[in-house]
Structure 1
Amino acid sequence: MGRTPLDAPERLREVFAAVLDVLAEVGYARFNMDLVASRARASKASLYQRWPSKARLITEALKANLPELPQPDEGTFAEDVRQIMRSWSEPMPFDTAGIFLGLLEGSRQDADLAYLREEHIDRAYTEHLRVAVDRAKARGELPESLDADILITALISTFVLRSDEQGVTDSIVDGLLRPLIG
């Protein structure tokens, strides 16, 4: 009996889970196809045949595991951010902080990963926050001069680095964001 092909949905999920687990455990520099192949019970050749670089494999794994990201309109910036971050908090079977740190490390070393991460992953997370910032500026909740990129980076970074803490979303919104915006 032969192995299930890599393009079968259940095999892809297994491979992508192995990719994200390995990235979180060893970081980008030590990440390699041998580790993924062993963990996913796949051949290294079949991985390279489908994904010519570790940057592309990691990006595909991340894209396949993006949570459902809503575009809430709760009437206030703080509540929009709360709903967006709650969608990020959906039970995630992966080490979010480990993955994030691996991506940051890899993006400094690998221009292809930096480009793919920015194009496919960062946009997915920042797009909804950017809409919320624009609406908040239009409502007068945030000053027009506010640097949206800095605020979004601060929100995402704080969330990711504290993602394993209970109640992180409420802590960020009520303990950081609300005092900042008044």
Structure 2
Amino acid sequence: MTPAEAALRPRVEGDREQEILDAALEVLGEVGYDRLTMDAVAQRAKASKATLYRRWNSKATLVVDGLASQKTTPAVPDTGDLRSDLLEAFCGMGGLTDHDSMATFGAVMTALSTDPEFAHEFRTRVLLPKSQLSRTVFQRAHDRGEIRADLDLDLIAPALAGIVLHRLFVMGEQPGPSLIERVIDQIILPAVRPTQA
């Protein structure tokens, strides 16, 4: 097909686009990123592979568009208290206790080290918004004088997620609100509190 012919064919958009993205996420959840193929997604979405390639030039862009379409990044909480903000940000829908979000993250883990195109897109479009949420929570606490003035916010902001993801993917412990609270109370808050004179 020539570029002119391709330009005349209808674009995949709207509800049909979301159906294909949903199909991609279903296949991703079943087989993981490494074994996901455009053929499998096309079959699940009842579409031709050519239809997929008209909109997505690779499985990396298809999967990242699917993940980005889920809008699983929660709103930045602003309760006026760091502990409450962290609990609100990391528990529930799109947070560290959201089983679907964690399962999806597990399905793409190996691709982060083996597929540079996917890793770049995923880090930029999926992880970056989540990490910015965390940094905003700590920045607000810093501005309120709730945490040490000399604290490296870029170092502490991902610490809670890092600890919980380690316990999930390395130790096999499913995260729940109790784990999030323990990490916040026993590790994060003691690490960030202003030192007493």
TM-score by length of 2: 0.74
Task: Give the Å deviation of 1:153.
Answer: 3.3
Task: Give the Å deviation of 1:147.
Answer: 4.6
CA spacing shift, 1:172–1:149, aligned 2, 3 Å: farther
Give structure 2 stretches of 5+ with no counterpart: 1-9, 191-197
Corresponding position: 1:48 with 2:53: yes
Paired positions, count: 173
Distance across 2 between alignment mates of 1:144 and 1:172: 27
Corresponding position: 1:24 with 2:29: yes
Following superposition of structure 1 onto structure 2, how do residues 117-136 of structure 1 map, counting pairs within 5 Å? 117-136=122-141
Residue 107 of structure 1 is matched in structure 2 by: 112
Residue 121 of structure 2 is matched in structure 1 by: 116
Bigger shift: residues 111-120 or 172-181: 172-181
Answer 1 or 2: higher relative contact order, Cα 8 Å, separation at least 6: 1
The answer to whether the 8 A contact 1:159-1:172 is kept is no
CA spacing shift, 1:154–1:22, aligned 2, 3 Å: farther
Structure showing greater radius of gyration is: 2
Residue 3 of structure 2 is matched in structure 1 by: none
Residue 7 of structure 2 is matched in structure 1 by: none
Residue 178 of structure 1 is matched in structure 2 by: 185
Following superposition of structure 1 onto structure 2, how do residues 31-180 of structure 1 map, counting pairs within 5 Å? 31-67=36-72, 69-85=74-90, 86-88=92-94, 95-157=100-162, 158=164, 161=168, 168=176, 170-180=177-187
Q: Secondary structure at the match of 1:95?
A: helix
Distance across 2 between alignment mates of 1:178 and 1:130: 18
Residue 7 of structure 1 is matched in structure 2 by: 13
Bigger shift: residues 111-120 or 99-108: 99-108
What letter is aligned with 1:28?
Answer: Y
Q: Secondary structure at the match of 1:132?
A: helix
Task: Give the Å deviation of 1:109.
Answer: 1.2
The answer to whether the 8 A contact 1:24-1:95 is kept is no
The answer to whether the 8 A contact 2:68-2:126 is kept is yes
CA deviation digits over 1:34-74, x for unaligned, max 9?
11111111111111111000110011111111136312211
Task: Give the Å deviation of 1:32.
Answer: 0.7
CA spacing shift, 1:87–1:98, aligned 2, 3 Å: closer
Runs of 4+ in 1 over 3 A off after TM superposition: 138-154, 159-162
Q: Secondary structure at the match of 2:158?
A: helix
What letter is aligned with 2:72?
Answer: P
Distance across 2 between alignment mates of 1:113 and 1:98: 17
